[in-house]
Structure 1
Amino acid sequence: MNAVDTSLEAPAIADWRNYPVSAGLATLRPSAERLDAVWSDGRVSPFHHQWLRDNCPCSRCVYSVTREQLLEIVDVAEDLHPQRTRIDDQGHLLIDWQDGHHSRYHPGWLRAHAYDDASRAERHAQRPQSRLWNAKLNEQLPLFDYQAVMEDERALLDWLLAVRDIGLTQVRGVPTAPGSLQAIAQRISFIRESNFGVLFNVQSKADADSNAYTAFNLPLHSDLPTRELQPGLQFLHCLVNDAVGGESIFVDGFSIAEALRQEAPEDFRTLCEMPVEFRNKDRHSDYRCLAPIIALDAYGAVSEIRIANFLRGPFDVAAQQMPLLYRAYRHFQALTRDPRFRVIRRLDAGQLWCFDNRRTLHARNAFDPASGARHFQGCYVDRDELLSRIHVLQR
């Protein structure tokens, strides 16, 4: 390998993550439109010239402070190609472009972003996977200690991973003073404010602006399906619970959706494709959102459930589709009532639920407000904040 004149090269700027070298660059095979990298384990990764130039990490192409890209690919020639390529003594790929620009790529970074079939399949297999659950979670509920989560980064990460992958957790030993919820929610990030406030009080009251603030039975639902972006995480913290009734009920909406996909693919497809309007209105606000009940991500996996029967507007689809939508909707609702999917727990003072509101549907049995005090506080944190916090902790 030839030595490189480092005076010609700006130092490479890494992003905030680390990229271990699982396999080194062995040889390079140039062609008209791309450079094929042969790795020490035999894998061959094609890198097109435009992709390589687009991802140059030098200080002219990436701002060293923010580590965000400066280069726009339209500003380089479409037929740009390397004048010279080689592997340096540290195993980096070096490219001298025909316009005089110089690029240096770390082998770990290249391997982590390679787009040959094997590398893409490897990355896909490493993506976080939702762990579907049913009524058996009653015996396997993820439990966490408040003090540990507040003081220890490892305990915090364990909790957040459970929230991400399972979508339902309980934290115990939480102080019961009003407002205590704010501190643990902010261990993740800032709280998402809504028309119900930063922290909202879940109590029975005469002038309720939501069925949640009554003593009624509250059927399974996601919160704020009336918003374009439903809150990602919901916290419910019990300050006092001396009333008879009011047990919490949860089902894994992703499990329900997958059961529907297996048992009735047409119904599943209907709920993925036909939009439903949800409405939330009071004297001072009027929120509406039209969206399907089941949303899929770019890989075809279920990524969101949007449902609250008490906030649903009349169905508005073509006449020939109306029977299909009702059949699918009834099927979904029936599955949420199936005991095999339901987790039922009473929340006591000093305990809180933290769950994925866009996945885990929650409900509450009716309670008797005359039998004792019942006061919960709640708040929301967006799912993006959870994922960001996990990434930073894992770094």
Structure 2
Amino acid sequence: MNAVDPSLEASLIADWRTYPIVADLVDVKPREQALDTLWRDGRISLFHHQWLRDNCACNQCVYGVTREQLFEIVDVPEELHPQRTRIDEQGHLLIDWQDGHRSRYHPGWLRAHAYDEASRAERRAQRPQSRLWGAELGEQLPQFDYQAVMEQDDALLHWLLAVRDIGLTQLRDVPTREDVLPRLAKRISFIRESNFGVLFDVQSKADADSNAYTAFNLPLHTDLPTRELQPGLQFLHCLVNEATGGESVFVDGFAIAEALHQETPELFHLLCETPVEFRNKSRNSDYRCLAPIIALDAHGAVSEIRMGNFLRGPFDAPAERMPAFYSAYRRFIGMTREPRFRVQRRLEAGQLWCFDNRRTLHARTEFDPASGARHFKGCYVDRDELLSRIHVLQR
């Protein structure tokens, strides 16, 4: 096998991941503005010249320490084209460009980023899928051992994948000390601070600045819908729970959105398209955010639910749309009350909820503060931190 040309010695991949070679490159055929590459399994992937030049990973185009791009495509002519293309003995695609630059592409990386329709369909199929749930999750609740999560990366990954895909998990055998929660959260990443602090205490307070800090029934909601970016993950660690009542209630907002889409699509679209102003007012702060109740991602899938009836202002919609919007809003809240969607469990001392606050709506039944102590410790970690930690653990 021939040695690699020293001028091409560089990282072939501007990434920290590895890319298995699922099929060898066997031929390259030129087009006017692109190359057709033929794979051993018969697939043909077209790569445009600009795309290939834009993704050169040589040490002139990518800084090897950070693996971030130095090159900008505007710095070469738009009509740039190869003078010579070939597949080397290691199976890499080599290109000599008309301006003298030389690029080398790893076949595993090329296949993983190919944008022919078959390759794009494969990537769509490999995207993580939310596992929708209803009342049956009460009997199948994902439960994890605290000590294993703290000490073993494979147990940590198993837990985080459940948080990502299901959106509601419980940890057991958690020490009932106040220093435990921040240590657990930092197994993922840093904690997100809010106006309620880095950590917050969920217990009845005479001078409460949120209904969460009362003994009232707390309806289903997401936390901080008043923020441009709602917190991703919410942790609730039970230190003591001797009070009568105060059970936790959860519903899968994604499952309700999907059911609404199937049963009354016109109401679903109203909740996706009509912004609602959510407000959180106290003596010292005033947070407001205008956003729809159901948000869709770039692929058209439900990515976020924003709900807090006790944290919203009057609806502001065109007069002709207002009756229909109220129908949609009433239907959504009505569905959260249907037994088919609800999971209701009491959290005991030494147990901990971790759930996706931008998906899983949570509530609390009324409790009697005179019947015994009830103290939960809480905090937030953003969803981006969860996904980053999963990617690092997987690679």
Runs of 4+ off more than 6 Å: none
Q: Does structure 2 retain, via aligned residues, the 8 Å contact 1:237–1:377?
A: yes
Deviation of the 1:95 alpha carbon: 0.3
Q: Is 1:11 paired with 2:10? A: yes
User: Deviation digits for residues 81-120 of structure 1, max 9, x if unmatched?
Assistant: 0000000000000000000000000000000000000000
8 Å Cα contact 1:247-1:365 kept in structure 2: yes
- The Cα shift of 1:7 comes to 3.3
Tell me the alpha carbon deviations over residues 222-265 of structure 1, each in whole angstroms, 9 at most, x when there is no partner: 00000000000000000000000000000000000001000100
The residue that corresponds to 1:48 in the other structure is 48
- Provide TM-score, normalisation by structure 1: 0.99
Which residue of structure 1 lines up, in the alignment, with residue 317 of structure 2? 317
Q: Work out whether residues 240 and 376 of structure 1, in 8 Å CA contact, stay in contact via their aligned partners in 2.
A: yes
Tell me by how many angstroms 1:76 deviates.
Answer: 0.6
- Residue 5 and residue 192 in structure 1: after superposition, are their counterparts in 2 closer, same or farther (change >3 A)? closer
Q: Trace 1:131-280 onto structure 2 (pairs within 5 A).
A: 131-280=131-280
**3-state secondary structure, aligned to 1:320:** coil
Partners of 1:222 and 1:70 in 2: CA distance: 41
Percent identical pairs in the alignment equals: 77
Distance 2:3 2:29 in 1: 19
Secondary structure of 2:226's counterpart equals coil
Distance 1:180 1:364 in 2: 23
Which runs of 5 or more structure 2 residues have no equivalent in the other structure? none
Distance in 1, matches of 2:36 and 2:233, equals 44
**TM-superposed deviation, 1:5:** 7.0
Contact 1:13 1:62 in 2 (8 A): no
Match of 2:389 in 1: 389
Q: Distance in 2 between matches of 1:211 and 1:252?
A: 22
d(CA) in 2 for partners of 1:292, 1:328: 12
What is the TM-score normalised by the length of structure 2?
A: 0.99
Report the Cα distance in structure 2 between the residues aligned to 1:276 and 1:8, rounded to whole angstroms: 58
Alignment of 1:369-384 (within 5 A): 369-384=369-384
Deviation at residue 47 of structure 1 after TM alignment: 0.3
Question: Which structure 2 residues correspond to residues 337-352 of structure 1 after superposition, within 5 A?
Answer: 337-352=337-352
1:110 aligns with 2:136: no
Q: CA deviation at 1:177?
A: 1.1
User: Could you tell me how far apart the structure 2 residues matched to 1:384 and 1:113 are?
Assistant: 22
Unaligned 5+ residue runs, structure 1?
Answer: none
Give the direction of change, closer, same or farther, for the CA distance of 1:105–1:207 in structure 2 (3 Å limit): same
Read off the aligned partner of 2:386 and give its amino acid letter. Answer: L
Measured against aligned partners, the alpha-carbon deviations of 1:46-87 in whole angstroms (never above 9, x if no partner) come to: 000000000000000000000001111000110000000000
Measured after TM superposition, the shift of residue 287 of structure 1 is 0.1
In structure 2, what residue type is equivalent to 1:194? S
Is this contact kept in 1: 2:12–2:105, CA < 8 A?
Answer: no
> For the Cα contact (< 8 Å) 2:261–2:268, is it kept in 1?
yes
Q: Distance in 1 between matches of 2:134 and 2:387?
A: 24
Q: State how far apart, in whole Å, the 1-side matches of 2:117 and 2:11 are.
A: 27
Give, in whole Å, the separation in 1 of the partners of 2:141 and 2:203.
Answer: 26
Q: What displacement does 1:13 show? A: 4.0
Kindly provide the amino acid, as one letter, of the partner of residue 11 in structure 1: A
Counting matched residue pairs gives 394
Q: 1:326 deviation in Å?
A: 0.3
- C-alpha root-mean-square deviation of aligned residues, in Å? 1.0
Q: For the Cα contact (< 8 Å) 2:218–2:363, is it kept in 1?
A: yes
Task: Determine the structure 1 residue equivalent to 2:366.
Answer: 366
Give the aligned partner of residue 335 of structure 2.
Answer: 335
Aligned equivalent of 1:122? 122
Render the CA deviation track for 1:350-381: whole Å, top value 9, x for unaligned: 10000000000000000000000000010000
Shift of 1:324: 1.2
Counterparts of 2:309 and 2:296, CA distance in 1: 21
Conserved? CA contact 1:225–1:278, under 8 Å = yes
Give the Cα separation in 1 of the matches to 2:164 and 2:393.
Answer: 14
How many Å separate the matches in 2 of 1:228 and 1:12?
39
- Give the Cα–Cα distance (whole angstroms) in 1 for the partners of residues 179 and 323 of structure 2: 47
